Structure 1
Amino acid sequence: MSAVRSLRKLGRAALLGSSSRHALPDAIEHVAKAHRAHHPGADLDILRRAYVLAESSHRGQMRKSGEPYITHPLAVTLILAELGAETTTLTASLLHDTVEDTDVTLDQVREEFGEEVSYLVDGVTKLEKVDYGAAAEPETFRKMLVATGNDVRVMSIKLADRLHNMRTLGVMRPEKQARIARVTRDVLIPLAERLGVQALKTELEDLVFAVLHPEEYARTRELIREHNAGPDPLAEIAESVRAVLREAGIAAEVLIRPRHFLSVHRVLAKRGELGPCDFGRLLILVAENADCYAVLGELHTCFTPVMSEFKDFIAVPKFNLYQSLHTAFADPRGRVAEVLVRTRRMHRVAEAGVIALGDPHRTSGDEAADGGERADPTRPGWLERLLEWQSHAPDPDTFWAELRDDLAQDREITVFCTDPGGTGRVATLHLPAGATCVDAAYARYGAAGHALVGARLDGQLTPLGTVLRDGDALQLLMAPEGASGPSPQWLEHARTPTARIAIRAWLDSRPRESRAQDAARPEPEADAPAAGGAAERVRAERVREKPAAVTEPPGAPVRLARCCTPVPPDAVVGFAVRGGAVTAHRENCPTVARMTAAGRETVPVRWQASDAGCRVTLYAESLSRPHLLADLTEAIAAEGAAVVFAEVEPPREHRVRHTYTLLLPDAGDLPRLMRAMRDVPGVYDVVRATRDQGSS
């Protein structure tokens, strides 16, 4: 009720205004006070002018709660001011609904308040349903994310806007509450996490928890109420920690940080029951980074550490700027307390994330004047990836589904990718946890990732579906452009929207028959690279007793026999098979002799000129040794051939046989390829396949 009374008070103040034209209106004094706490020298005149425009333009508009509409932009601006947002963000926040809901135009905002404020207001302005229909919501988020790519303050305002709307959601119909809560859960909360704005994220989580899981929320609330009714054992433990740190001469502030509702619920679900110290954690704030480790040393010396709970996010920050030491210890009575140790600056960034970093467009001089703090975080890797794949999302539904899926990946890994060919160049790839070699290929090469034929992790060949780990050293083996392409199975390996959208687009661009052939293609062995490829084409000519005088003889679908895999300029002969198709064999294939002896009629066929390449199967006979398969595959890739299928038979008397089905850009390259394979140490013969596999 106190929050409602506060909103009503703000509304009355907004309508009454101030007695002096140049004085700060009473309604924004609380905003100004919070703003001065973080920015003592801020010029508040622009806030006064923004408020006057917002109040006059929204005058007469009411919220569903019955409050004057101006209470909403005021509440959103106060949220941002308390988190330390700079003046431009607060100005745009006061005006964020004017262009959408009043007669104020974007040009007016630009003329009165400048380009930056105009950009931020435009970034959070929704697209009209009358123009976009059901696509309005996903396309609004797409527009907002693109704007965030240039200025993260756009999303800061949106998050604060959603938080205040969630606080006042009770006036909506239950079905609308649930719909808004689900979008908040799937999109806004993950964005708050990725931007490091924990203060907004945790409250949004609790508000969504209350709407979507009311029974669990009520039980959790009762557990917290019962805990708060008695003494908190963490208070006694905190005092013990203070004494230890005082004795060690470490200046530190020791606080009890209560868990929010959803956090308590998660602990309960994980452990099955809650201990007396599970309702909060100790937060220890110090001045310098070195003090964090000094505190850690004292805690682990004077108490019994729970080493499985230790994490160092100072040496290795999270991808959302978060830094802190996490640990846990047991006191002499066996009570286990979880602890967060961080500097005060780390704490400010942990709570406010990108909001605490201020204006991303400040000059280096402005940065130095602000104490040398980092002003412009390099655009996060996840945002770069999101902006890239969204530009290729073909429709709003695909974008919306992929966005939710992408944001569900809550961890990021770093992979070091070495370019093929011995150039020595190493690219640093930032990928979501769970990404595979396929994802890395598209992250590194974009649509050219279609040419992936293999991958090596730490020098060893690995399947394309291998899940990568943080810090992996990866080499991607690529075929010549156009010589290979993804198979439908790649969709099972792809975890990122960038890869999935590109693969689907490639598959959709192919004829249905080609897709069916790709789907039927066997998966490669675990230690062999996989690749797709264009099929060779050969034309069949049926013999007539009296050939007709035609410029192009009648044709039939032709496929190449797998038993001998002919390539130009091999002499070939065809046999009719069921369905009206023709299978082409090399003339010296054993199958030809057997089928001719059985009375099967041959069908003359000839090669058709084509730049689609050719397919061939080779046997490589070799002595067994480590890394032989990797070296052979690398030699094949260096010659521009794509590996369609690879198989290694078990060694016999230290000898091993490799079977490769390869796609060559030009059949004339085959002799050079076979010589290159024979040059691999340990390989003593490479021959064409002439297996007798029975009837075609």
Structure 2
Amino acid sequence: MSAEATNPASPGPVTNTAPRRKARPRIDLRRLGRAALLGPTARDRLPDAIGHVAEAHRAHHPDADLEPLRRAWVLAESSHRGQMRKSGEPYITHPLAVTLILAELGAETTTLTASLLHDTVEDTEVTLDQVGEEFGAEVRYLVDGVTKLEKVDYGAAAEPETFRKMLVATGSDVRVMSIKLADRLHNMRTLGVMRPEKQARIAKVTRDVLIPLAERLGVQALKTELEDLVFAILHPEEYDHTRELIVDNASRADDPLAEVTDEVRTVLRDADIQAEVLIRPRHFVSVHRVARKRGRLRGADFGRLLVLVNEDADCYGVLGELHTCLKPVVSEFKDFIAVPKFNLYQSLHTAVAHTDGQVVEVLIRTHQMHQVAEAGVIALGNPYAPPSEEQQATSDGERADPTRPGWLSRLLDWQEGAPDPDTFWSTLREDLAQDREITVFRPDGGTLGLPEGATCVDAAYAQYGEDAHACIGARVNGRLATLSTVLRDGDTVQPLMGQDPASEPSREWLEHAHTPAARIAIQRWLAAHPGSGDGEDAEANAAAQDTQTVRSAPPAAEDAPTSNPATPVVDQPGATVRLAGCCTPVPPDEVTGFSVRGGVVTVHRVECSAVAHMKSVGRAEVGVRWGDTTECRVTLVAESFGRPHLLADLTEAMALEGAEIVSATVEPPSQQRVRHTYTLQLPDAAHLPALMRAMRNVPGVYDVSRAQHHTTAF
């Protein structure tokens, strides 16, 4: 990749600051393209026009067979002969430039072969079948994947449907998107020949779709240059200002980055650590972001130090030496080696303070990590090759295959449900605009990758697909949580699934759904079931109807005389005994009593809050013990997530345990939660634990407890 590309839409060059594997002379693509038209090339050697491609390719793959490249060049050059770009160059310069970009990033031979041919089927008489016959199924698939759909067939839907087709193809072979990204980079470099309105339209699609895809695939070398090119077109005044800042800083005599670089080299040399220490200038957009964040920029803000070592352990050795010999800024430390980013990025990030107080950021990584950081999935080679032992040992979670990351799997899942091109296009842009991904854990040890801000609703649909319609709640880090709970990186989430086949999503879930997969699935269900999914209103109506059927007697008033055959025996002859409604004591609860008006003794569980209140005001306790009879009356509170038929299931469970429902009340649902209060007559107090277990086992019920009413006076 050339170190500098001039954007005709901007007054100056956009510099790609990513360090390259080997310095090479700048390539005159116009001259090479015209030289390719001079005549046939001997079959026993590579054409001069792609000599630079061969040189870059051999730097990464010394043993590569270049014969497929020679044959691809012959076909591409002959089929594009006579075609010209709007810039006036022979068209063949475009596939040649795209292939050179990929070669310098380390792409393998099959990718380069397909890159040379990527426009032949779209713009010439060459057919896919011919490509397949000459170069094999893999090259045919890659060329097909990047071939645009015709506007004459798809009209306004051609662009979104082309991207949908490309993403689906990428799901099977990530090299499709690698070629597309390099194709867009070269087109952006030469976009100045287009009308301003077309430049802006292409730049916006690049910003909204291609740059996020480059980020997710880890191809930072392409992403940063695309960002700068888009910046120059869409924000020319800010681009000019940023360029002036960079030029002014370069003219300064003092450079804190150079001084710290010398210090770091000395420290590592004295520690006998072999390392390459480089100054890595920030690209234009990065400088602009730092300026907006910090205001006035200082010399150290225009770049970072990059330390490259041979082994993983050396990274931590470098870190230790820097933190020992220089003044570290501890808050800036991040370990992306132990916990890589979702796009394969690995590096240690730290910062040290310069003598004048400026903070110098430092990146520490191995040479291999650096190659992956720059080229991402392109550096992984052929995805059809047998997996390495390390890949085979990777746990399930976000997929062991790094060429099919979790975010891509999710994107492919939800795009199937996007009903039309407009929905797909808008949802794709929205999905890709979510910059950061978090990892949450499942109880079985697997993981889910979700965008930052995702909720339990999103986790349910990510794990269960459309079966998540039956979700009734979740546990986060072992605690019950509502579906609207926002998840944090590292949380453990367990969606709770109902057993009722009639379970349905609530329209309210759309307010909490952050991922396209969840939103599209919910919207599709609601569209297919008009009038359903009304959430709390529907639950409240159902609860009210069910309450009417189970209310067999009016609720007992607190401290009302009880007909409970298990009347406690009190140490006060002739007293009337009442069981306190605030704590509903039953055998074998430890109990105590207090005399109230009318010669009545009220019996409480000893842990009841009313007992402490009575003692605090000087009320004398009355001794109480349980008699021989075992029947009892008890009030239980059930907490549940709202769902249809829940009360019917609960009452059935209670009846099977021999409990008679004296009264039941159901509070209006709140945040998908429902609170039920039941007063029950049991034939034997010993059955109470089994009854409570049976109630907790009803799907949707997450807690059952004894009633505790607040009592202030007697």
Q: Which residue in 1 is equivalent to 2:123?
A: 101
Q: Is the 8 A contact 1:623 1:682 kept in 2?
A: no
Structure 1 position 672 matched with structure 2 position 653: yes
Q: Which residue in 2 is equivalent to 1:480?
A: 499
Distance 2:266 2:543 in 1: 83
Distance 1:302 1:221 in 2: 35
Please give the secondary structure, in 2, of the residue aligned with 1:317: coil
Distance 2:500 2:426 in 1: 30
Distance 2:644 2:173 in 1: 47
1:564 positional shift: 6.9
Distance 2:319 2:553 in 1: 77
Q: Is the 8 A contact 2:53 2:103 kept in 1?
A: yes
TM (norm. structure 2) is: 0.74
Please give the secondary structure, in 2, of the residue aligned with 1:415: strand
Please give the secondary structure, in 1, of the residue aligned with 2:218: coil
Q: Which residue in 2 is equivalent to 1:211?
A: 233
Distance 2:30 2:366 in 1: 38
**Structure 1 residues 269-278 or 8-17, which shifts more?**
8-17
Distance 1:312 1:144 in 2: 34
Inter-CA distance 364–494: structure 2 relative to 1 (3 Å threshold): closer
What percentage of aligned pairs have identical amino acids?
69
Match of 2:285 among 262, 271, 280: 262
Q: Is the 8 A contact 2:472 2:643 kept in 1?
A: no
Q: Which residue in 1 is equivalent to 2:110?
A: 88
Give the letter aligned to residue 429 of structure 1: L
Q: Which residue in 1 is equivalent to 2:561?
A: none
Distance 1:479 1:652 in 2: 36
Inter-CA distance 63–652: structure 2 relative to 1 (3 Å threshold): farther
Inter-CA distance 99–685: structure 2 relative to 1 (3 Å threshold): same
Structure 1 position 408 matched with structure 2 position 428: no
1:404 positional shift: 1.0
Q: Is the 8 A contact 2:377 2:403 kept in 1?
A: no
| Per-residue Cα deviation, 1:543-593 (whole angstroms, up to 9, x for no partner) | xxxxxxxxxxxxxxxx779387334xx7xxxxxxxxxxxxxxx89789xxx
Q: Which residue in 2 is equivalent to 1:511?
A: 530
Distance 2:106 2:58 in 1: 9
1:276 positional shift: 1.2
Give the letter aligned to residue 300 of structure 1: H
Structure 1 position 52 matched with structure 2 position 74: yes
Inter-CA distance 56–378: structure 2 relative to 1 (3 Å threshold): closer
Structure 1 position 447 matched with structure 2 position 461: no
1:308 positional shift: 1.1
Structure 1 position 240 matched with structure 2 position 263: yes
1:362 positional shift: 1.2
Q: Is the 8 A contact 2:457 2:512 kept in 1?
A: yes
Inter-CA distance 461–237: structure 2 relative to 1 (3 Å threshold): same
Inter-CA distance 659–472: structure 2 relative to 1 (3 Å threshold): closer
The structure with the largest alpha-carbon Rg is 2
Q: Is the 8 A contact 1:393 1:399 kept in 2?
A: yes
| Per-residue Cα deviation, 1:290-313 (whole angstroms, up to 9, x for no partner) | 111111111111111111111000
Match of 1:303 among 326, 330, 350: 326
Distance 1:141 1:2 in 2: 26
1:622 positional shift: 6.5
1:454 positional shift: 1.2
Distance 2:129 2:60 in 1: 31
Match of 1:291 among 310, 314, 331: 314
Aligned pairs for 1:675-694 within 5 A: 675=657, 678-679=692-693, 683-684=705-706
1:170 positional shift: 0.5
Q: Is the 8 A contact 2:636 2:705 kept in 1?
A: no
Please give the secondary structure, in 2, of the residue aligned with 1:305: coil
Structure 1 position 228 matched with structure 2 position 250: yes
Please give the secondary structure, in 1, of the residue aligned with 2:544: coil
Distance 1:45 1:560 in 2: 73
Inter-CA distance 309–19: structure 2 relative to 1 (3 Å threshold): same
Q: Which residue in 2 is equivalent to 1:338?
A: 361
Please give the secondary structure, in 2, of the residue aligned with 1:277: helix
Structure 1 position 489 matched with structure 2 position 508: yes
Inter-CA distance 234–426: structure 2 relative to 1 (3 Å threshold): closer
Structure 1 position 433 matched with structure 2 position 414: no
Between the two proteins, the alignment pairs up a number of residues equal to: 566
Q: Which residue in 2 is equivalent to 1:195?
A: 217
Distance 2:654 2:429 in 1: 46
Inter-CA distance 17–683: structure 2 relative to 1 (3 Å threshold): same
1:264 positional shift: 0.0
Q: Is the 8 A contact 1:18 1:24 kept in 2?
A: no
Give the letter aligned to residue 74 of structure 2: V
Match of 2:274 among 229, 233, 251: 251
1:439 positional shift: 0.4
TM (norm. structure 1) is: 0.76
Give the letter aligned to residue 672 of structure 1: A
Please give the secondary structure, in 2, of the residue aligned with 1:15: coil
Q: Which residue in 2 is equivalent to 1:545?
A: none
Structure 1 position 65 matched with structure 2 position 90: no
1:665 positional shift: 6.8
Give the letter aligned to residue 224 of structure 1: I
Where structure 1 has 5 or more consecutive residues not aligned to the other structure, the ranges are 369-373, 419-424, 523-531, 536-558, 571-585, 591-619, 625-650, 687-696
1:666 positional shift: 8.9
1:464 positional shift: 1.1
Q: Which residue in 2 is equivalent to 1:138?
A: 160
Q: Is the 8 A contact 2:542 2:644 kept in 1?
A: no
1:213 positional shift: 0.7
| Per-residue Cα deviation, 1:95-124 (whole angstroms, up to 9, x for no partner) | 000000100000000000000000000000
Distance 1:197 1:326 in 2: 19
Give the superposed CA RMSD: 3.0
Please give the secondary structure, in 2, of the residue aligned with 1:461: strand
Q: Which residue in 2 is equivalent to 1:282?
A: 305
Q: Is the 8 A contact 1:622 1:656 kept in 2?
A: no
Where structure 2 has 5 or more consecutive residues not aligned to the other structure, the ranges are 9-26, 392-398, 556-580, 586-607, 612-634, 658-689, 697-702, 709-714
Inter-CA distance 245–484: structure 2 relative to 1 (3 Å threshold): same
Distance 1:68 1:367 in 2: 45
